[in-house]
Structure 1
Amino acid sequence: MQDQAPRRCDWVGAEPIYQAYHDEEWGVPERDSRALWEKLVLDGFQAGLSWITILKKRENFRAAFQGFDPHVIAGWGEAEVQALLGDAGIIRHRGKIEATIRNARAWAEIEAREGFDQFLWRYVDGVALQPRFTTQAQVPPATPLSEQVSKDLKRAGFRFVGPTIVYAFMEACGLVNDHLTGCHCHDRVAALKAG
């Protein structure tokens, strides 16, 4: 008798890299400021594309963007933009590349002032939201909270952080547990809500 595959959220494809991302990373509360920034940048690069496209290029992005060290990237200029525009291993979009540099500078200001992790987690009082959706159709593309976070990030100088991107980021980083209740990851992630 064959083992039955675990039940996953409806958006997960059949590719092993996608399933591993869903099972091991997506929705797990992230508390590291640099890692949060990396995920926000990658969600910005995803705009208009599928997440699997970004996921398959993630290691290329990490290499091209110096391990997503915002302190390094904040000092970049046109020479680095041109080099990245020539890198076939990443998404070569000038606006997104320039936004990453700008976002590194905005991150550095927030990090110095209060910590980027603290800045983000205060929106949920430090505890992941638990909506308990049963179907993918119930999961919103954005919420009033993601609209507020988006506005605040833009006010701080960030780009490519619209409400839909921010909500996807909040899901990915575990600020909200949008694993469907029937998903094998839901209860495990829910138990991590207080981080």
Structure 2
Amino acid sequence: FPVVRYGAFGGRRERGVFAIRVPKGHKGDVVWTLRHNGVTYSVPGRATSDYYKLSYTPQAAGSLMPVVRFAANGPASAGREGVTTGPLTVAVGTTLNIRVWMQDRGERKPIPVNMLWFKHQGPGDVSFEPRSATTAPGGGEATTSVRFSAPGEYMLRVRVDNFGITDSAPGQQCCWTNGYVRVKVTG
């Protein structure tokens, strides 16, 4: 199945926040409809447009989507669909440590891999310390400490990228991978 990538509804713009699979040979549009405060918004995505297709082949300098895991030998992902872990449980105001394993898998000399955390969904504020980190060339492990301001169900997202090389940048379709963490925060 081809994978189609889209942005998010979060008050800010971020490319490649999630992806969906469409059946092989799908010719129509994929339409997102958002209803808020009595107003309906619909946005079509043309599954047949090359703009929406993800590249799983090496870029000009050999970059590929990096790998992300939440356990050293756990499930891995390379791409927008990502890998999800959780739910983890923590109390409001208590620190939750989340470990991430990242790997550059480009077809060139290994480069460092970066991570950047986002609150994807949830009722309160989320703080990350650190919010970003960079590994040694080839990849490695990083830990972030997370605190929540309010109880509820949260989804956190980590973007793992190799934007430190000429054929990979935030505005391109390559080369980053998403990881998602479900968290239940108790009062």
Q: TM-score, normalised by structure 2?
A: 0.29
RCO comparison, higher one (Cα < 8 Å, 6+): 1
Determine which structure has the larger strand proportion and give its number.
2
Determine which structure has the larger helix proportion and give its number.
1
Q: TM-score, normalised by structure 1?
A: 0.28
